[in-house]
Chains A and B, each alone.
Chain A
């Protein structure tokens, strides 16, 4: 019998995690949506809706499939298993839960259900899978955070039984917030909307630049049965937002002219099912394409995007000391080159999502974000409300890397929910996310580097042009940071670095792990290798000879008494370097085919926190009468681990076991401002606030008990027991709310930069040196990475396993930058035309943790988030050159580019 049905009413019967369900749905509805919205299985994640990311993987009759490219009707009569079910009832699923926790295989956790579901299917077939088997089985699931290595370890060790004990500073304990991520219960931006919330979709410009007018919007709205259409005219406050004071230049919805492809011009709100039937291309808007500029060269001469910015120059940066020109003229060798990198997309697997509702005279927005307080203030301005009129409740964040600092869904949701008085939800499509979110700035760098005959650096002149897109976003930060960092962690008496950020009709460039520093390192670290070649000097040695040490002046004239650990990092690499050098030489001596090995090294440094700007964090904590210890931890954990690190620091400072700490998660109503999660500042700055807060609370307790610093604290219901030497004291706890409470802030000491960029921009720099070993197929131009060895001075590793996780994830992003990633506006707006590394692209990563301590960091700890990716790309490029003599100046080094460089080097 042929079953015949029209549209939406097909009853579909299937097993979901062992339970028989029969639900009605349009037969071709995506299984992912069917499971999430109709069966309530929000543990099925959606990253792309195109088969590209695997986040939506479920088991159908035991086989992992992408539920977003499967029709709901295809599971009729079949058995569907998802992560939450497997974690509960499947032996392999349970083993994996423990293993993923043990190995910290989940960072943000958005890819985790897809990874674990695929791993269950593998383990059912193969009890002890090889690395290759894991790579094949999990190959269709993308992860942007972990670099995959810990995931491979966890799957291979699923049957293992080692346990990790919780502990304070220095302990490699499991994440305090890990369990929901590995059991499928974590709630991300698109998982929190109440039933019945309306859905919002944004109408965006399909042109790089276009004037537009609307047709009869009201008639179109009514005809399609929608609840609301929003345009710029509906913004009650200021239709502008931004992240840097004085640079608030981006409208929520454009007025009359859209300045980049993907810019919002309107938004529509209605029931989800209605919107699903709608082709947004029918929205009544008339476009008149206008001439556009996509590159800085075009931008410099194009019509002004912002009237007050002549030549479309948004801002410039400068650091100069000594006389670079004279130094270069007197150098034994001068190497120079032009280097460029393209737009890089953050590629977090969770698209921007959230919901908002009006609660009395206030608006509450639940969303994935890295900067709740900045979001609150910006939304308030858009809404014409006082900041207190807005509450931002961050959900779990499925990756951020800088792009979830800026406003995305928030103003739309707030506007719609406010107007309608009903909850409204939205999730960006992958295309929308890629076309409209901020990017890493494309860079064009021209640099000259001079060296003396003894291998010391004579001087350098750096000029970097950055494509900052249509709006400012974090562009000024990039323009400021780059000249400070473009020296690398080396001694220069004579140095000049200039940067300029130019507007174009591209999506705004913003913050992305490293704020421009990875781009400058691509030029500077390659030139350093070229200089070593000119001198005939070992590449590691030239770096050692010039490495900054405590007491040296940086290019801004800052002197560090502690914490300048680059030499320690380079020394940590030395034995690995010698081994790899010998191995590569032996391989190449015996090579007869077209494969050649190469090794490369690069350094990196990065100032933690904002550049010469106040950026405090505040932490509050209290002890209740019934003996609960509550930490109001407002630093958003986007997967990097701040929930765990801040808890470990606080517990150590207070002197209690970390597992006793209860966390109040970030919420602008409940947690004080811990600043934004960016600039590698949370461990350092919020960590210091947590340490001060823990110490303050401890001091109160000790005072009450009148005991010494050395006393041991035990907090129990109704009382705190203090043991000091042989003596015991009991301090009773009573009262409503907190019996004891402390709030402490920390703001790193910095000094402003003068007109030559001289000053103390950061209280702390983190340093790193990495080494890449690889194989180039000189005929095809393909590069196979063999190993990355990464030495990082983190001051003090609060949680060594988290350090490794950050490093591996950063290295993976560096691999992407070096070898495959480039966003082309209008062309690579999905996760298949825009390639990020897969599980097959990340080789083993050996992390060497260097702990030189630091006078400012909490327990000597420094930030790490951005450092990890800075040296990776130049180390890889240096290794490619070492293998085959080809210097890649323009990234990414795809097979075609490498091959072209090889041919160019041969002629």
Chain B
């Protein structure tokens, strides 16, 4: 069926392929029968976190001592690719918010914090979210405004965050705050728990796509957070945030590639059925060539993503290439989802067709985790410009 498993042979071993089967079954059984309902409802049941954990999805990449199965970049890719077959980017983002919220805790949190937070998230009982973006801006992380002032054994936090994935339902928030002077050298990461006095969550934001994920605004008013919840060194948070972006961007590449792949697959089926002017629309040369180009783009993008993933797995610091991969993958998914809607004609604009959802869900991918322009800034800087 999918080209993914066949073309990627060199990167995936037998264990990866077995897990691919597991996640595929998980999606077929636990998600696909309900996904349209959940999309319209604007959220999926909380118990899905637990079910995903039981299948071993949450634990991928995390240390065994906390219930994980150890580092494996391609295992992460396998799970994400197969979850994307649910056709709901929002569900994948919501279920996957632990993968942006938790890694800083695991890497730089104190032992007590790790013991407290990580096992519950990996077992699917608790939800983790990452909160960097603020109403005043998300691109310019170095100038974030939420303040945390040290007071005895606590920090007192004031400010707000917005567009936070899993923001409504999360239990643990990994929050970027300003503890020091202006600029990147004054930024820290703090773990803030739901229910902490002074911390409140706004309404669920209404979005173009990613309907099944709960995206929210967060407010902190004299919110007292134990200093022990500091993740990494005080005023050293910027580095942690930037490091964390690497895997987030890789996952966004996978989402973009899969969004395009699913749109392509839907078109390949549709053009063999749909007729106009007395023949299948797949028999018009313009359509054939359009599909040939879509397939080429998706393939090249996926292979480049895999290549960068394998360099990350080997321990290389591919900041520049990761940004290139993200911009390439999202350009491809922009174009492929646009073309897919076009090929579907009026049906491509209707909610009953999968390409309609894919085209909406796609739009965020060139914005979240660093915008297209910010990616180009990163690349340009690495080029010595």
Query: Do A and B truly interact?
Result: no
